[in-house]
Structure 1
């Protein structure tokens, strides 16, 4: 079976669809081929709503596949076109903000409040976190990880979004949390994102230069991304509350996870925080560690089983 992942290539978007594709492939007793197709339309075409993209371009150049999983606005029109042609089973990840019946299946976060006969809701977003991936990356980076004595804390720092911002007070809070953990004897595994403001990046770089027990990975770092190894090596995880992906991925480990505050109005994100608190004990970091054990969050595998059972090729 061939599975096609369609996105605009942004890592956070593509990884949602890719994680779901990998989980669907894991349902099969035989090998599945996973292809990625990145859409890079000209800015004028990309700005058009999906309905006009469908009028202006009926052939999006997607290769043949049995299952097409798309994520992000630019994937909407190509998936609708493939469903019209009957050439593939189409699955869209996120709320498409149009009638879900235009796809065979829509996978949307519960906090989006989307419903319908072909809508599957999940806590957070699909991800690529798996035991095999974490173990593989831990082994690959074991020499460097082992230089940082346990216990270890991971801090995943995001950045401004439509709903959140990092104020000076927020950045200071994050850094103070890191200093507290260092004082308590933790080594730190810190990762920042492309959305992290330059001034905040500089503050983390300064802290890493001052303290020896820190591995700081930034988007400009020369080494391979150690994100999955960080998840595996950490004893606890602190995540800025702007990122559905990072919160969900962290809770997929079954480890204590805390959210770091950001400015702004969380809106529907509050529903995500509440769901993760109820399911995984997620709490805002207040300097104390007091989460109860929980089973790793594995929503991606649950949704992948639903997709697998609905595939026409399976029937």
Structure 2
């Protein structure tokens, strides 16, 4: 046997390739701030908090590169206990959604983060009870309200990232009852209590005190990730997701093997920043590392990858840089 025959030159390697990335399989997360100008995020080199003006250019570039969509996160100037800014029609995320949908809604799938953590003064993904614990069912009522406002603002796909039990069923029921039957739900099904979210919390100026281990998954639990995904599918999710991606490829592969709906993965801020930091030191080839990291997530079973490199990587793919 001579397996090397299929590696002998670029042409034969291209024909024998088992996994290929396409720009349409990439989604770009974007942060939009309420006040001030565009703000670089120190822990995420190359990523900024956009304004309502600057985000227009970012989504135009993304559309020109042919990526699949954008996921919007809001950075409000004022927070409170119930995250009221999340459901105010003129809250920053809802305003940004209208701007982006108007700008590129025909070219990109406009997606929004449906979670309270960016809007609460305590930084948790839900409302708290009298003992300071996240109240699952009271939070579902807030998610129902968020779903209606986000859908009305032009979001085509709602990213349910709060990890509350029953969130998919609650939001689906609310959307359908209000006539938003075509608004899709992306369930962050297997979202782990990960150390790799650190730079993201800088990006949204998180006020979190404590941790989210009572509702996000234990990093050691593989079967539980699959169980959560199956529950979300039963509740009516249109897409399920594993987050983070790189350290949870086993969970991703399990979910992909069992799911009969699309499976996505989120290459989170810490994964991004580690590669950027190593590349700045000259320790790795940045372009190849970016491509390889996203390719590996796709190879493990992700139909779509959320990555902060989406537009840049799409440009390289369009240029045939990895042929």
TM-score after normalising by structure 1: 0.31
TM-score (norm 2): 0.31
